[in-house]
Structures are given as structure tokens and as C-alpha cells.
Amino acid sequence: MTAVTQPAIHEPLPRKDAPVLDLEKIRADFPILAERIHGKRLVYLDSAATSQKPRAVIDAIVHYYEHLNANIHRGVHTLSVRATEAHDAARQTVQRFLNAADTREIIFVRGATEAINLVAQTYGRTHVGAGDEILITAMEHHSNIVPWQMLCEEKGAHLRVAPIDDRGELLLDEFARLIGPRTRLVAVTQVSNALGTVTPLREMIELAHRQGVPVLVDGAQAVPHFAVDVQALDCDFYAFSGHKVYAPTGIGVLYAKRALLEAMPPYQGGGDMISSVTFEKTTWNDLPFKFEAGTPDIAGAIALGTALQYIGKLGIDNIAAHEQDLLAYATAKVGALPGVRLIGTASHRAGVLSFVMDGVHPHDLGTILDREGVAIRTGHHCAQPVMDRFGIPATARASFAVYNTRQDVDALVEGMRKAHEVFA
């Protein structure tokens, strides 16, 4: 194996774990971490795909079905009132979590993917026409590419892509240059799921707004890792998935500024989203219900509220500090292994360490690590254009959550050494 020259890594030197979080206690909050995988301790380093769930979230789902279950916004009976109140409370928790101005700006959806599709199908279809442009970046997840491609195809519009450099950083000048008179929407990620890059979102939003262009933010990989304030960002749309932030799968959030939501046509038609229906005319319900047709995932929304409260209890800034420490430690340890090349070395990263290993395909590495109890993601991470940009078919990706420790990183490094031995 030959050593590969590393690009400069602008990370703080590894330091001691932040003492604020009691990691042993936190790990005990996540029942699945007690699982044995092939007889080994589970080292879960795939939280960017989906996070594990704390006992409080699992209990919230059970509690809902055991004590509250009824349909919401209907019926005068006690259970329906309880369920409606719990669902409303969850929406308030999300509002506070994002620091949105109003609970009516919080739309429950299935996940970030549905949130982005909702905007493409409603705002997009009414504001984007032939010859118009939508601007994204070269490090988007497929979920922030394909809905726009479908819209462009339908409308005869064009998708523009702001490029990134070899470290995985957005070229801000190029991005600014690509915002033109035909740009109708900018849709960008806050954190790249494949590279870990944190984008300069404030500057990007300001550049877009200067030209009167609204901005959608894919925050799926951001909300688990640091505080997000949609008012401070001044973004127009913000999408995230519950399951990446310690909540169950199947629930997510679209935040949008109220004026935009008021003007947008509904997404899906059905119950709950109407205020009156006759065969001649139907009038839409008020926000947020206009965008929530049909009986929602009530238990999921409530459990999402519980997950965000769990984060609040630990303190998102404490989580951010702990994860930054882990990322710096992992970057140093993994980056020092012979023949390893880090993919994504931006100055500001969060949650994700992507890499390739000389002579060991990511898929083989994933299998060998799995036998050591270490779970990582291997493949293109639903970001094939990113892989093409770096001229590789796939990477191995270790991603971090609050329950990970330096011991987890050490297990990863040890597993990588074993893989190196097998393929040397």
C-alpha cells in the first residue's frame, strides 16, 4: 500500500471529551446499543443514515397507543382531545426547536424527501415556467436533485448546479454568479451527507435574497448536529427528517414562511386540509392543516416532539461540542492510517467522515467491519454526483451521534487495520 498525500485538514487538534455530557448515561438511554453483533459490542457509526432511538422516544410511541390513541381534530370524546393536544404540543416543540415565528409554519410530512417534493409540487409548479432556472449545489442528496429535475422536465426549466472544490467546499463566487434573472428558487443542503461539509448558508441566503430569490434548505444532516434558527438564517423553506434526529422513521417537517404557505396551493387533497366541501366548491383549511391531508402519523409527530425534548435536555450545543471532538479525533486517527484518503476535507464539517482505502473497496471494508460489530455506510450515499466529482464509485462513511465515543472510533480504526491485513 502506498501512502496518499493528504490535503490540509483544518480541524482543531483532538481534545478531551467535553465533560458536560455523561456519555455512559446517554448510552444507557439507547436500548439498541446493548445489542451484540456477531458476538461483539455494537459500534454504530451510521447515524447519518438513521439515528438510534432513546428509550424516551420508544416509550412515547407505546404510551400514545396505550393511553391516547384516537383520531385528531375530530370527535368530542376524551381520547380525541388528548391525542389532538399531544399532537399540537409536538408542533410547538418543533417550532421552538427551529425557532420558527409561528406554529402554523410547521408542516408535518413523512420526511425531508416529502418536504422537498411538497415545495416542488406546490411552490415550484406555480412559480417556475419555461426557461426559468432552479439553482442547487454539486453536493446535494438525490432527494434535493430529483424533485427539481422532475419539475424542470415538466416546465421546460433548467437545473443549474453550483460547483465545489477538491475539499468539498462550495465555490461561493460561482454560486453567486449562477443566481440570475431567471432563477426562481435556490435549493441547498446545510450539511452534505456524503462529505460532511457545512455550507456557508447565511451568505448563500443573503446572495439569493439580494436577487429576490427564495431559498429552500435541506437540513436533514444539520439538525442532529447543531442549533438551527430559521429566523436568523432567514431561509424561506427548511426540510428535515425525524429519524435522523432520534425520532422514528416516517415523520419529518417542512418549515416555510407563513406568507409563502398562505399563497401556495395545497399539496394533496383530502380530509383535514379543507374547511368546507361541496361538489361545486371546496375551500382550504387554515395553516398548517392546508398541507396535511388525511390522518397523519400522530404517534410519529408526538415521538418527534419527545426526541427534540431529549436533545433539549442534553443541550444541542453540548451535543455539537461532543460530536466536533469525535469528528476531529476520527479525522486524525483514520486520516493517519496508511493508504487512506479522506473524501471531504472542508474547513467546517459536521457528523460525517467519508474515506476510501487503497486496495480495499468500501463494500469489502463494510463487511469486515460488520464482523467486528462496527456499522458504517458504504456506497454512493444517494449522492452519485458527489462520487463522480471525486472520480470514485463509492466511499466508506462513518457518521456520529451523541451516543458515540472515542472508543467507537478506536474500534473503527482497529477494524480498518484488520481489513488492511486481509487485502494487503
Partner 1 sequence: MTSELGELYQEVILEHSKAPRNFHRPASANHEAEGYNPLCGDRCTVYIDMDGDAIREIGFQGAGCAISRASASMMTQMVKGKTKAEAVKLFEQFHNLVTGKDEAAKAQDLGKMAVFGGVSNFPARVKCATLAWHTLQSALEDKPDPVSTE
Residues of this chain that interact with partner 1 (CB under 8 A) are 38, 359, 361-364, 367-368, 371, 378-380, 384, 387, 393-394, 418, 422-423
Rounded to a whole number of angstroms, the minimum distance from the CB of residue 393 to partner 1 is 4
- Please indicate whether residue 382 is annotated as part of the active site: yes
Q: How far is the CB of 358 from partner 1 (least distance, A)?
A: 12
| Residue of 18, 382, 392, 413 marked active site | 382
Q: What minimum distance in Å lies between the beta carbon of 408 and partner 1?
A: 20
User: Whose Cβ is closer to partner 1: residue 78's or residue 367's?
Assistant: 367
CB 195, min distance to partner 1, A? 16
Nearer to partner 1, 354 or 405 (CB): 354
Residues 6+ away with beta carbon under 8 Å from 44: 32, 33, 52, 375, 401, 403, 404, 408
**Residue 309 beta carbon to partner 1: minimum distance, rounded to whole angstroms:** 36
HEC assignment per residue over the chain? CCCCCCCCCCCCCCCCCCCCCCHHHHHHCCHHHHCEECCEECEECECCCCCCCCHHHHHHHHHHHHHHCCCCCCCCCHHHHHHHHHHHHHHHHHHHHHCCCCHHHEEEECCHHHHHHHHHHHHHHHHCCCCCEEEEECCCCHHHCHHHHHHHHHHCCEEEEECECCCCCECHHHHHHHCCCCEEEEEEECECCCCCEECCHHHHHHHHHHCCCCEEEECCCCCCCCCCCHHHHCCCEEEEEHHHHCCCCCCEEEEECHHHHHHCCCCCCCCCCEEEECCCCEEECCCCHHHCCCCCCHHHHHHHHHHHHHHHHHCHHHHHHHHHHHHHHHHHHHHCCCCEEECCCCCCECCEEEEEECCECHHHHHHHHHHCCEECEEECCCCHHHHHHHCCCCEEEEECCCCCCHHHHHHHHHHHHHHHHHHC
Between residues 320 and 419, which has the closer beta carbon with respect to partner 1? 419
To the nearest whole angstrom, how small is the minimum distance from the Cβ of residue 136 to partner 1? 21
Q: Which is nearer to partner 1, 4 or 176 (CB)?
A: 4
Residue whose CB is less far from partner 1, 259 or 424:
424
Instruction: Pick between residue 43 and residue 213 the one whose CB is nearest to partner 1.
Output: 43
Catalytic positions, please? 382
